[in-house]
Amino acid sequence: MILFFILIFAAMTSPVYAQSSDSSLKATAVAIPGGEGGIGFDDLFFSSGLHRVLVPAGHTGKLYLINPTTFEMTSIGGFSSSAVMQKGHDVGISSADEGDRFIFVADHGRQELDAVSIESGEILYTAKLAGDADYVRYVIYPFYELNMVPRHEEIWVTEPHDKQIEIFTFSGGPHPLRSLMRIPVPKGPESLMIDRRGYAYTNLGPNTAAISLASHAIVATWPNRCAKSRGDALDEEKGFLFVSCGEGKVTVFDLNHGNKEISNLITDPGADVISYNVKLSHLYLTSSKNATLSVIGVSAQGGLSLLGQAAANKRSHCVVGDDQNNIWVCDPLRGQLLRYKDTL
């Protein structure tokens, strides 16, 4: 396998600069109940299994689920809350993922990981976190042997303040959700992307790392050439990993050929979370400083080109696409989402 050794690669490709262009992208404001004073959003997630956009709504103490076809919104409560807005990492919830009839949510106020039954909407299981959580992601391994008995299910939680990823197992018995181990991640972890081929990707300052889902060990690192590395997105079929830089850049790495840099694009500053629409081969990136949403086309060879830009709002740092070609951008100061239709 190409990832079982450490790669130190100094890319020599010249940067391409994004040029702002007019587009048909128009925002529709989607109010989040209880968010009138603002919401400390962080991680928006689209669950293909539930066909819902998962919106952890910070201090409101609720997880909102939005149907991208009908735009119907439902909620799950019972998490810690606050009467006033605080940053998503201070109170309430800011990240969630779905798997095996449950939604897994990190609660900052209680410093715990919750397993919510999709059927009942109730928190059925909880486990204490070793540190303050950032990303929560559900993992089954091995992916292509899902009928194995027993299945090996894990929840990975990044804890950047403690420079680690905490792994929880989810199985039967009196304590189905329990902490298994912690993976030390120096200078990180920032972001977390799960690859069905058996790896997780996260950023470690100026580097990006691949972690084996089987061994729980870092098996490769390579320079991402970011001053401030931020979000990750993935095209599993083509083997493209996208990494955003806070200073304003997105880079494509070829996971099938030594994690080599294919191309990069200079964008507006303040890039953070990024999202990828595999059907359209479009990458979505926001600028929290310039208040823009950029839609970037990805060629079959991994080349990047700006297709269009739209106005967002200051501190709009998180974005996710769904299977209906909607783009959802967080608007923390107004406690709402901005919804765009990708017609490009």
Locate the domains of the chain by residue range: 16-341
Cβ atoms of residues 57 and 93 within 8 Å? yes
Place of tokens 């404001």: 29
Q: What is the pLDDT of residue 16?
A: 43
Q: What is the pLDDT of residue 1?
A: 39
Place of tokens 């190409």: 2
Cβ atoms of residues 296 and 287 within 8 Å? no
Cβ atoms of residues 31 and 39 within 8 Å? no
pTM score > 0.75 for this model?
A: yes
Superfamily of domain 16-341: YVTN repeat-like/Quinoprotein amine dehydrogenase (2.130.10.10)
Q: What is the pLDDT of residue 143?
A: 61
Asked if the model's pLDDT at residue 154 lies above 70, the reply is yes
Average pLDDT in the 296-303 region? 98
Average pLDDT in the 50-71 region? 96
pLDDT band for position 18 (cuts 50, 70, 90): very low
pLDDT digits (tens, 9 = 90+) for 215-230: 999 999 999 999 999 9
Asked if the model's pLDDT at residue 10 lies above 50, the reply is no
Could you give the CA distance from residue 121 to residue 132 in angstroms, rounded to a whole number?
Answer: 24
Q: What is the pLDDT of residue 151?
A: 58
pLDDT digits (tens, 9 = 90+) for 308-326: 999 999 999 999 999 999 9
Q: Is 258 exposed, middle or buried (0-12, 13-18, 19+ CB in 10 A)?
A: middle
Bridge-partner residues for 286, per DSSP? 293
Asked if the model's pLDDT at residue 141 lies above 80, the reply is no
H/E stretch holding 218 reads strand 218-223
pLDDT band for position 83 (cuts 50, 70, 90): confident
Place of tokens 């800011």: 94
What torsion, rounded to 10 degrees, do the Cα atoms 2, 186, 231, 140 define? Answer: 60
Bond before 189 cis per omega within 30 degrees: yes
Asked if the model's pLDDT at residue 150 lies above 90, the reply is no
Asked if the model's pLDDT at residue 295 lies above 80, the reply is yes
Q: Cα dist. 328→15, 198, 312, 337 in Å? A: 28, 28, 11, 6
- Look at 114-123, 151-160, 169-178, 237-246 and tell me which has the smallest mean pLDDT: 169-178
